[in-house]
Amino acid sequence: MMPYSQEATQSFAKQIFAFLQIKEENHVLEITLNRPEKKNALNPTMVNELAYALSYAHHNRDVRAVVLAANGTIFCAGADLKAFMAKNTETTSTIPAPTAEVVIGNLFKNLHRPCIAKMNAPLYAGGHLLVCGCTHVVATPAVSFSLPEVKRGLWPMQVMQSLLAIMPARKMLDWCMRAYKIDAEEAQQLGLVSHLVNDVEELDKRVNELVADIVSKAPAAIKLGLQAYQELQNIKADEAHGYLKKMLGEVLQTQDAMEGIMAFQQKRAPVWKGK
């Protein structure tokens, strides 16, 4: 369940974003964090904008992939605690209030779209909720990962849950307790980074290649596959195969599946509809 309905996101193109840059082209929605003077720290408005953009991607079948990037020297410094505590909420953003509480980890969990993090700067604290929720992370050596919460008397509670799906529990707990920095190479070994490139030029090229490859595949199958993957976390082991058999039946009923089979038989490229 996303915090914005399909009806609420129909005016997406008319909205003004205060802290995000949005670009939609060739079935790809690119979201760029744009609060560099504050290290892209998440404030309430920025969180709602992110929730609105991802809800739009979830509801719009024309969006087949999402790219998450960031301006500035820090990809994201986590939550801006002062902003969340402040009463002043003045902003140029026209994004409406969400109809449900925004939980960042659940935003990506329920997106049901491939999401590629395009990283060329360090990541801190709660910013990991954004990156851990992505299906792919492409990073340069300039990227590092830090969980400094325990140095401030805090603990990365929600981040811990997101990390458990990616890396070994003992390593995750050690990292949370000792608050050290992990470089891009080690992050790749731990599964935090899926693709490590040499520089910004190669970063752009690899992300573009990855997106093009994903977008060329059946979008309805990918959506239902990601939905099934997330639902598996809540299903008992002895019920998993029954559930997946049901989901395969749903995939077989899609127009994309019918088109894919027909295109294979006719030895031509399929024309996907996302239905």
Please return the burial class of 62, using the count of CB atoms within 10 Å of its CB with bins 0-12, 13-18 and 19+.
exposed
Pairing of strands 144-146, 181-183: antiparallel
- Does the residue 226 lie in any domain? yes
pTM: 0.94
pLDDT of 205 above 80: yes
Q: Give the end of a domain, one of 175, 194, 215.
A: 215
The reply to whether 72 falls in a domain is yes
Query: Is 2 part of any domain?
Result: no
Q: What integer pLDDT is reported at residue 258 of this predicted model?
A: 95
Q: Is residue 227 part of a domain?
A: yes
| Residues 69, 154 within the same domain | yes
Q: Tell me how many domains the chain contains.
A: 2
Same domain, 131 and 233: no
Residues 105 and 157 in one domain: yes
CATH classification of the domain holding 118 = 3.90.226.10
Specify whether 234 is located in the same domain as 124: no
| CATH assignment of the domain containing 241 | 1.10.12
Chosen domain end from 215, 236, 251: 215
Coil, strand or helix at 77? coil
CA–CA distance, 89 with 80 (Å, rounded to integer): 13
* Residue 233 and residue 184 share a domain: no
244 inside domain: yes
Residue range 226-243, pLDDT digits in tens = 999 999 989 999 999 999
Last residue of a domain, one of 215, 230, 256: 215
What mean pLDDT comes out for the span 163-180? 96
Structural domain range at position 226: 219-265
Residues 243 and 155 in one domain: no
Within a domain: residue 270? no
pLDDT number for residue 212: 96
**Same domain for 129 and 54:** yes
> Residue 97: CB partners within 8 Å, gap ≥ 6?
48
Kindly state whether residues 172 and 236 are assigned to the same domain.
Answer: no
Structure tokens at 37: 């003077």
Same domain, 71 and 190: yes
Predicted local confidence at residue 84, as pLDDT: 75
pLDDT 10s digits, 99-124: 888 999 999 999 999 999 999 999 99
Residues 115 and 171 in one domain: yes
Asked, for residue 1, whether it belongs to a domain, the answer is: no
Pairing mode of beta strands 144-146, 136-139? unpaired
Q: Does one domain contain both 77 and 166?
A: yes
Indicate whether 148 and 236 sit together in one domain.
no
pLDDT tier at 146 (50, 70, 90 boundaries)?
Answer: very high
Tell me how far apart the alpha carbons of residues 269 and 275 are, in angstroms, rounded to a whole number.
Answer: 17
